[in-house]
Amino acid sequence: MKKLTLDRLLQSQGFGTRKWCRQLIDDGEVSVAGTVVTDYRTAFDTDGLTFRLFDEDWDFHEHVFVALHKPPNFECSRKPSHHPGVLSILPENFTWRDVQPVGRLDHDTTGLLLMSDHGPFIHSQSSPKSHIPKVYVATTAEPVTPELVALLLAGVQLHDEPAPLAAVRCSMVDSHRIEIVLEQGKYHQVKRMLAAAGNHCAALQRVAIGQLTLEGLGLEEGEWCYLDAAELGLLVAGD
C-alpha cells in the first residue's frame, strides 16, 4: 500500500504541476470520501482510492492501461499532422501523464488500440520478440479466393523486405473480407501484403491482440475502457 500527499497524488494522475494541484486543493475542488480536503499535505493510501475533482469521480491508477476502439481518421501520434490524434478521445489528464499508443494503426484503420503510460508494458507489447498475434479483418476490392489465402500463408515478397512475409493464420470471412493474423508490425503490412498478393485493401480493422478481442470488450467506435488484470492477462503470445 502506497501513501501520497494529495498534491503529489493529483500530479501523478495527470492533473497538472504540483503548484497547480495545490491551487485546486486550496480552492476546495478536491474531495475524498465525500469530504472536501483543503490541506495539500494530507496523505492518503492510494490502494483502491477514489477522489472527486471537477465534479467527477476518479479512481487512482498507478499506471494506465487502456483499450480504445479507434475510429477512422485519427492518428496514433502525440504530434498529429493531418488528422486529430487518438489522445484527443481520452481525458485530458492522460496526456499530462504521458499516455501513448502501443504501436500504431494507420489513420484510416479502425479497431483495437492499446494505450499506456507504463514503459515496460509498451515495450513488451511492441517488441516483435514477444510474438503476440494481432488479428485483422480486411475488406478487399477484389473477391477473396482460396489462392489469395494460400499465397498470404506461404508468404509474399515486399519491396523493402529481405525475405517474404507470411501470415501466421489466414482465412476467408466472406466474399470480400479476409482475416489475417500477424506477429510482425511492419509499416502498412496488411495493405502491402494484400497488394503484393494481387488484391487491394479497401478497409481494415484490428479485431484482437493476443486473446483480447474488441467483441469481448464490447467497445463501440470511439469508446475506451481501462483494462483490468484479467484482460491484461489475455495479451499473450499465440500457441
Asked whether residue 138 falls in the same domain as residue 176, the answer is yes
Tens digits of residue pLDDT in 110-158: 999 999 999 999 999 988 788 899 999 999 999 999 999 999 999 999 9
Tell me whether residue 41 is in a domain. Answer: yes
Asked whether residue 139 falls in the same domain as residue 202, the answer is yes
Torsion sign (Cα): 210, 215, 216, 217? positive
pLDDT (0 to 100) of residue 80: 73
Tell me whether residue 239 is in a domain. Answer: no
Tell me whether residue 238 is in a domain. Answer: no
pLDDT (0 to 100) of residue 184: 81
The range of the structural domain enclosing residue 88 comes to 65-129+212-232
pLDDT (0 to 100) of residue 237: 72
Residues 6+ apart with CB under 8 A from 107: 72, 73, 74, 75, 82, 83
pLDDT (0 to 100) of residue 87: 93
Phi-psi region of 147 (alpha: psi -120 to 50; beta: other; left: phi over 0): alpha
Residues 6+ apart with CB under 8 A from 91: none
Does residue 3 have a pLDDT over 70?
yes
Asked whether residue 119 falls in the same domain as residue 74, the answer is yes
| Final residue before a domain boundary, out of 40, 59, 78 | 59
The set of catalytic residues is: 106
Asked whether residue 146 falls in the same domain as residue 80, the answer is no
Asked whether residue 32 falls in the same domain as residue 88, the answer is no
